[in-house]
Amino acid sequence: MLNMLEPLLDIPTVYYGALVGIGFCVYYLFEVVKTPMLVCANGPFRSFLEEHVPLVRNKFWPTLWCFESRAQTIMASILRSRILPPIVYRREILTLSDGGEVALDWAEEGSSVTSPIVIILPGLTGASQAEYIKCLVSAAKKVGIRCMIFNNRGLGGVELKTPRTYCAANSDDLSEVVDHVRKLYPHVPVGATGISMGGLILGNYLAQQGTMARNKLKGCFLISVPWNVFAATKNTEENYFNLMMNKYLAGTLRKNIQRLHYATEAGFFDVDIETLLKSQTVREFDSHFTVKQFGYRDVEEYYSNATIHDKLHLIDVPLLCLSAADDPFQPVQAIPLKEISETKKVAVVVTSRGGHIGFLEGVWPVKEEQYMGKLFSQFFTALFTTGVDHQML
């Protein structure tokens, strides 16, 4: 037996390296690089996307050395935070009907008062300088679109005026923000984009508004939205790496609430703050804080209200969504592909790789122009400039 193996031992190591390299390239080309799925019912909206948004027909080339889901998620955040400069905004403080305040940050460089507007809703703990927000703003600037980032209560450097924050199921604040923008610019087309939890808030807004939203928003775009909140939270608690990301988010939420709570001597929130600060996961945080803030019976009732996978039939505004099949926050089996395939107003582009708000592409993804930014700008440019009547989509 040893005699039979001796010829293999004489093969130079470089050949083994070459074989491994060839094998990796074959795997990358045939298993990683794929044309995204475009899921949408046949009709005007699908035809519009296929004709005017070229990216839905092209292959997605995930970064060669970074195509695993968690690597995409983490490296996208690191790289964007380093290569994308801070955005200079014009800040507007909007006082809401209950006395609360939110910061609206306007990115207007290179635009005019007649330029179309996209309202952007950040993720769970994000604000206007989040790296993924800067990616979208950079893409919008190149095509002459104004962006307005809606920072949730208590975020973006604005202190709370009332003991109320925000949650995925409540779109009251967004409704006031949209109406405010429409009042300021009644003759300018307006769209909206939600990232991760911001996508849940926007999705719930669209479902709750129904046909009324058609007169306010020309189209909407969701990125890495956790369609089914139950599946999303379960997935982030199942293995070590996902759980670490879950705990990181929970830690950020705890620190934010701790800062806001102790802004007054008596404590701002009527909650058991000591128990709250022991929350180790987002689910525990929601159980101890969000549920009590918004009057839910328990976290199951809150998540049932927050999830949007069963509300798509209520949406009457053209809605394009971008999801990755390997998103650690949303397993592909929980993306409501069957429901979307029967819905003429909702479409989803599903890439085989991309992680959560990742979608890094190319050998060295350090360009300001990135995949999700390109899809964002192609979609809204088509909506705002092609002359297509969005009411007919």
Q: Is residue 211 part of a domain?
A: yes
Q: Is residue 266 part of a domain?
A: no
Q: How far apart are CA 359 and CA 372, in angstroms?
A: 7
What integer is the mean pLDDT of 306-320? Answer: 96
In the set 171, 196, 279, 377, the catalytic residue is: 196
Q: Is residue 323 part of a domain?
A: yes
What integer is the mean pLDDT of 298-310? Answer: 96
H or E, element range at 95: strand 90-95
**Would strands 37-39 and 346-351 be described as parallel, antiparallel, or unpaired?**
antiparallel
Q: Is residue 92 part of a domain?
A: yes
Q: How far apart are CA 367 and CA 131, in angstroms?
A: 13
Q: How far apart are CA 219 and CA 383, in angstroms?
A: 7
149: domain CATH number? 3.40.50.1820
Number of domains in the chain: 1
Please give the pLDDT value at position 5: 46
Does residue 196 have an active-site annotation?
yes
In the set 279, 356, 377, 390, the catalytic residue is: 356
Q: Is residue 18 part of a domain?
A: no
Q: Is residue 205 part of a domain?
A: yes
What integer is the mean pLDDT of 283-306? Answer: 96
Please give the pLDDT value at position 238: 84
Q: Is the pLDDT of residue 28 over 80?
A: no
Q: Is residue 268 part of a domain?
A: no
pLDDT tens figures, 39-82: 999 999 999 999 999 999 999 999 888 888 989 999 999 989 88
Query: 């890495």: which residue's tokens?
Result: 224
Q: Is the pLDDT of residue 297 over 60?
A: yes
Q: Is residue 283 part of a domain?
A: no
pLDDT tens figures, 240-286: 888 999 999 999 999 999 999 888 776 788 888 899 999 999 999 99
- pTM equals 0.93
pLDDT band at 7 (very low <50, low <70, confident <90, very high): low
In the set 327, 352, 377, 390, the catalytic residue is: 327
Q: Considering just the CA atoms, what is the radius of gyration of the chain in Å?
A: 22
Q: Which structural domain, as residue segments, surrounds residue 165?
A: 44-228+307-386
Does residue 327 have an active-site annotation?
yes
Query: 């808030």: which residue's tokens?
Result: 201
